[in-house]
Structure formats: C-alpha cells, structure tokens
Amino acid sequence: MRKFFLPPERKRLRGRSTLKAKKKAARLYSLRSSTKKALPLYASFQVPLFSLAILLRDRPDLISGPVALVCCAPDSDTSTPSTTAKPVILAVNHEAARCRVTQGLSPTKALARCPHLNLISSNPADECLHQDALREYLASLGSDFEETAMGVFILDLMSIPHAMKFPGEWVEQALRKATPLRLPLDVALARTPDLSILAGQSPALRHTLRFNADPIFCMAQHPTFAIQHIDSQPVHSLNCVSTEITLEAELLSLWGIETLGQLASLPRQGLAERLGPEAKIAHDVLHGKHHRLLRLHRPPERFNLSQQLEYPIETMEPLLFALHRGLRTLCSRLQSSQRAASSLRITLTFDDGDLYAHKIELPEPTCDSSLLLRVIQTHLSTIHAPAPATGWSLHLTSASHEEKQYHLFKRSLKNSRRFMNTLGRINALLGPGRLGTPFLLDTHRPDSFQMKGALCSEKLAVKREQNECTLSPHYRRIQNSTSLPLSRFRPTLPIHVASDPEGRFPRPLALLSGPYCGPVTKSNGPFPISGHWWDPEERWQQVEWDIQLTSNALLRIAYHPPDNWVLEGIYQ
C-alpha cells in the first residue's frame, strides 16, 4: 500500500481549517441553545366571577353568605322584546353553590333551595369602570396584551426580560401591584395563550390574590405547566378558551369523554374523522401545538388639538389662519396613520366665558386640510359671536378611507367636496336639524316619517329599495292607483268642528274655525285607524273624514278621541 505524506505547509493549513470549523460549530451551538431558551411564555389574568366580584367588592357584609347575581334574559321564543324578559341566575358564590343553587335557575327556584340567598342585580356601568381599571393595570405590566373577555386578559411575556428569567418572582410582584384594585385575581403561566386560560382554572397552577381584611397571596404549587394538572377539568371548559372550538359536551359524555384528560388521551386523527376539525383544534390546544396570535389591545389614537390665544380675536380671518395651522397638523397625523376624518368638532371659547361647540359630519372621509377649512369657514360665517374669541379646539373623528363600488347604471356624486360645501351653506341658512331626507316609519300611522341626515340617505335608499322589493303585488297595485293628490299640513292644524254625536264616531257637520270654514255638504267616512294598542305610551287612534264644503273645497279632517279635531290636508 502506498502512503501519501502531506508537506508541513499543507498540514499547517489543515489545522487552521479544523480550528475554524470548531469555532463555527461552537457559535452555532451557542446560537441554538440561546434560541431554545427563548420559548414563548404567556400569563393569563382572570377575575373569577367578574360581574359578581365587583358587586361584592364594596359590600363585604355579603361575602360570607350565599349570594347570587340576577339579570333579566330575553325569552327563548322571542329574543329581543323586553316585555317577555325573565330574571335568571347568572353567577353564584361558593356558599350558594353548596346549597345547590346553579346558573340558569329562576330566582324563585333558587330561593326555594336556599331561603337565605341574597339576590343582587348586575350593574353594566360599574363593570365598564372596573374593566377600564384592569386594562390600565395590564398596560402598566406590559404593552402586548389581549382583552379576551370581561375580566380576562392574556399578557405576552416575551417583551419582559425579568418575567422570562424569573417568572415566579415577577408573578408575585404583579399580584402585589394589583392590590389597589381590591378584586380577586388569578394568574397562571403557560407556553400558549389557550393553555394559560386553562391553567388559570386549575388550583395547582394558578397564583391567587384574595381579600379578607388584608390581601392574601397564594403561589402555585406547580409553577411549570403540565397537562396532568388540568386533566380533571370538564370538556366544556374548552368552549370558553377559543371561539374556534364548540364541542358538544353531551355527545362526548355519551361516549364516556367528560374530562380534558380523557380527550387528550385519544388519537388526534380519530377525533378529526369523527368530530371534525374543531376536535382536532381542541386536541392541539391541550397538547400545546395550537399557538394562535393574540388580538393585541391598542388604545385608539385621538386627534385633538387646542390652543389658548395670547390676544382675543375679533375677526374671522386671523381665527381661520390659526385653525388652518391646526388642521394641517391633524391631517398630517391622520395621513401618517393611514386614516381620514369622518367628522370634525370645533369648540370656541369667548372672552365673556361663553363656550360654543358644533359637530360637522362629512359626506366621505377625507384628510384634506383646505377642504376642512372651507367647511369650517362656511359654518362660522353664520355664527354671531357674543365676544372676541380667546381659544379654540379641534377634534377629528378618524375612520378608514372609504372604498366604494359604484353601480353601472346609477348616478353618484361627481364632486363630494362641492356637495359638502353646499350642504353646509343650506344647513347654515335653515338652522340645525332642518336639513335631511324624509323616510317613512314602519307603522300604519298616517304621515309618520323621520328626517334622516343627507349624508346617510344613500344607505337608507338602498334599504328602502330592498323593502319595496318584498312588498306584495296587491300593495303595489293599491299604492300606484290613481287618486287626488293631498297637500298635507305639517304640523296639522287644530280646528273646531260642529259634529253629530250619534253613532259610534261623531260625524262632522260644519267647520267653525281654521283656514276653511263653512257647512259640510258631503262627507265620506268614517275611517278609523289605530296602532300600538299594547303600549300605553305609544298607542294612538284617530278617525279620518273626507269632506266637501259649500265652497267646493275638498278637505281631510281627523278626529282624535276624546274631543280633538285637526285639519290634515286639502285635495288638489
């Protein structure tokens, strides 16, 4: 066999390349080890029985006894009417649950099971205030959090180095920071957002904050998540974790699957074949393979600008100059955030302490400062200031840029800016609330309409076309039938009528007052109509008559019980 010997120079180069390869492998190993350590970690913050907890926060005398939260829920047959709403039990504390008072019972059945039960009603205003306080508390811990539900939040800990290195110490500090809220709080850690919610429902995995006279802190027995700690929870607890999961607990119970541990032990492919993709997602959630993105909470950006003037302004030109500078600043902020203004609100402060505020609706979102200034100038030209202006404030309501698909055979606005300017001038001429498009109300009451703003008339016109398409042919034939045009008086004119009281309804004999007076030669009627008889405040009733006077005037009058007559209109 031949042996080949390398020269000394080649051996030296080979040694250097081997050393470089070792250094490169060491760098790759350190990089891989560092990436392995940076696993995601999420913390769930849950206020148990949120609606009940905020009510018991200021009533410590009820904490030791059985308490149930009562709220009116609509009937199952008719989902919306409030007249059929029935009170039900929404939540109970531990003492009430020991007396077999459960959610969904009526208050009568709950009191039969527990005679000493205290019933309290929910307060939506307090819930919103405490939800805002919790939102501020989460924002003080970190910026990347999700508002999952009322009293439930999920915080991403990847941007908090102290929480990633020392999670137990960070959780204890977070619980101590929540003591001013005076609300019970559960905190749990897990590698996925959904598992953190499930971990918060397990006594072995959650860190708790409770209140007696002083705050009581209780740390978790097992700080590291494992599926064995949640295997005893019921299957329906997955439905509260994600909107993508709607498992039928009754069907699974027939198959002997009642806990999360039993569901997690089944094969994934078999679940997907028998129960569909939702069961597959549930299986992935339990095994930590379903990692969804958080719907991060971002506070809405406000586009406000105000200024206190050094000297009072008596004319419009310097005021418009100052407003134009403010509009350019706000419009540049709108453009940088890819937004536009759908409405603006201007507030003026005068030297005598008076305050003027007005909101201007725009036909379409825009971020053109010159256009907005023109609208403000048109409106300010109709204002008579009581004193010189000493300050101003502008507020723009942001909206996304409108994308509209125009119809092929329908007209649209050629110049929305000119239309907006014209609307401003007409509104300034007529006064506020006098410009709009009339639309009929969904009632049989004659001449019942509502004035809608000119800016929303297009959407209402589309809805009106859809309603007309659903009308029966008989109604269309009656609506399109030929008849004398009636010029209505709006509002109707009260008149005095001499009538014959015999019969069910009084019969008009002569008009004694009003623009048309004289005896009645011919009459057609009565035509009684009524509506909303079930509502004592909204019900109405009237009897219409078509009459002819000696002057050949054809009129329509109406009788409103008990003794009111009005002139509705005249036939042309």
How far is residue 110's CA from residue 97's CA, in Å, rounded to a whole number? 10
Nearest CA to 366 out of 392, 335, 322, 325 is that of 335
* pLDDT for 77: 42
Global pTM reads: 0.58
Question: What's the count of helices (H) and strands (E) in the chain, helices before strands?
Answer: 17, 22
Nearest CA to 285 out of 245, 250, 255, 232 is that of 245
* pLDDT for 409: 59
* pLDDT for 173: 92
Q: CA-based angle 294:298:303, to the nearest 5?
A: 160
pLDDT digits (tens, 9 = 90+) for 220-248: 888 788 888 888 888 888 877 766 677 77
* pLDDT for 449: 78
89 three-state secondary structure: strand
CATH class of 303-425: alpha beta
Q: To which H or E segment does residue 554 belong?
A: strand 554-560
Q: Are 360 and 346 in contact (CB under 8 A)?
A: yes
How far is residue 286's CA from residue 231's CA, in Å, rounded to a whole number? 9
Q: Could you tell me the CA-to-CA distances from 528 to 258, 445, 534, 543 in Å, in that order?
A: 63, 11, 17, 4
Encoded tokens for 276: 């569909």
CA dihedral sign of residues 258, 261, 265, 267 = positive
**Cβ neighbour number for residue 367 with a 10 Å cutoff:** 22
Q: Tens place of pLDDT for every residue, the chain, 572 residues?
A: 454 454 555 445 455 556 666 666 666 555 454 444 568 899 999 999 898 888 888 787 787 888 888 875 544 444 444 444 678 888 888 888 888 888 888 888 889 888 888 888 888 888 899 999 999 999 999 889 999 988 999 999 988 989 888 998 999 999 999 999 999 999 999 999 989 999 988 888 999 998 887 888 998 888 788 888 888 888 888 877 766 677 777 777 788 888 888 888 888 888 888 888 888 888 888 888 888 889 888 887 888 898 898 888 888 888 889 999 999 999 998 888 888 888 889 999 998 888 888 888 887 788 888 888 888 888 888 788 888 889 999 999 888 765 555 555 555 566 666 777 777 777 777 776 677 777 777 777 777 777 776 655 455 455 555 555 554 444 444 444 457 888 888 888 999 999 888 888 889 999 998 888 889 998 888 888 888 878 778 888 889 999 999 888 899 999 988 888 999 999 98
Report cis status (omega within 30 of 0) of the bond before 491. Answer: yes
Question: Which of the four CATH numbers 3.40.50.300, 3.30.1330.10, 3.30.70.270, 3.40.50.2000 does domain 37-48+127-299 have?
Answer: 3.30.70.270
What are the residue boundaries of the structural domains of the chain, listed by start? 37-48+127-299, 49-125, 303-425, 437-479, 486-571
* pLDDT for 477: 42
Encoded tokens for 352: 């005598």
How far is residue 540's CA from residue 545's CA, in Å, rounded to a whole number? 17
CATH class of 49-125: alpha beta
Nearest CA to 522 out of 554, 500, 495, 544 is that of 554
Longest dimension (CA), the chain: 142
Q: To which H or E segment does residue 439 belong?
A: strand 437-440
